[in-house]
Amino acid sequence: MRTKTIGEALKEERVSHRLRIEDLSKKTRIRVNYLIALEENNFVELPSTTFVKGYIKTYANIFGFDHAPLIAMLRRDYKESAKGRLVPREFIKPVMKQRSSNNNITLVVVILISIFSSLLGYIGFQWHNLNKPPLLEVSSPKEQDIVSSKVIVEGKTTPDAMLTINEQPVSLQTSGNFKTEILIPNEGIAIITVQTEDRRGKTNLVQRSVNVQF
């Protein structure tokens, strides 16, 4: 009988409480794509091991179960790499091997593909310039930083844009630079959301996952 994976156990717990993954994201302030990756055992898309364990403990707090067995399950199936990421303890080699065959591509076809690719790239570049969102660079905090309850958030955006951090408006310098302090009242994993909107109504959003420790 196949052993249940950590992702399957978490998904079953959520489904048993009839909670959609979008609603769980709002409750936990964990990104939807992180929750999906966790339930699919796709640890390549997740931050470091510390954050993954924090997400599992958050599940436990929300649904009221002991997180220790799930952490043990995680250690059973995965190990921490030198870079602090989770990797499977066993790698399954694919049985099927794909064979590639390159058959007689004529010079005319190659030229046509090159022209089409160049044209498509030019159109895409022009479309991007017309529709690109306003500049938004967040230099601090970094993703997965360990911070205290008071966090300095700084970066740069378009000078005439409107900027909010966790839905609170923030004033800009004339250069577009910003620096402000926010308060995170609870320990654990927290999401800092920085959003900017320019005069065209175009928006840009950057989120940082941080680990709050008092």
Question: Where do the structural domains in the chain lie, given as residue ranges?
Answer: 6-88, 136-212
H and E: helices and strands count for the chain: 6, 10
| pLDDT score, position 127 | 79
pLDDT for residue 93 = 40
Task: Map residue 43 onto helix, strand or coil.
Answer: helix
For domain 6-88, the CATH superfamily is lambda repressor-like DNA-binding domains (1.10.260.40)
The candidate with the shortest Cα–Cα distance to 17, out of 66, 60, 49, 79, is: 60
- Cβ(197)–Cβ(162) under 8 Å? yes
Question: How far apart are alpha carbons 52 and 191 in whole angstroms?
Answer: 14
Q: Per-residue pLDDT for the chain (214 aa), expressed as one digit of tens each?
A: 567 888 898 999 899 999 999 999 998 899 999 999 889 988 888 888 888 899 999 998 988 888 888 888 888 888 888 777 887 876 434 433 444 445 567 888 889 898 988 888 888 877 776 778 899 999 999 999 999 999 999 999 999 999 999 999 999 999 999 999 999 999 999 999 999 999 888 899 999 999 999 8
Which pair of structure tokens corresponds to residue 135?
């500049």
Q: What is the pLDDT of residue 118?
A: 87
Using a 10 angstrom Cβ sphere, with 0-12 exposed, 13-18 middle and 19 or more buried, the burial of residue 129 is exposed
User: CB-side exposure of 202: number of CA atoms within 13 Å?
Assistant: 14
**If you search the block for the tokens 């978490």, which residue do you land on?**
10
CATH number attached to the domain at 136-212: 2.60.40.10
Query: What pLDDT shows up at residue 94?
Result: 42
User: Where on the phi/psi map is residue 104: left (φ > 0), alpha (ψ -120 to 50), or beta?
Assistant: left
pLDDT at residue number 104: 63
pLDDT of residue 95: 35
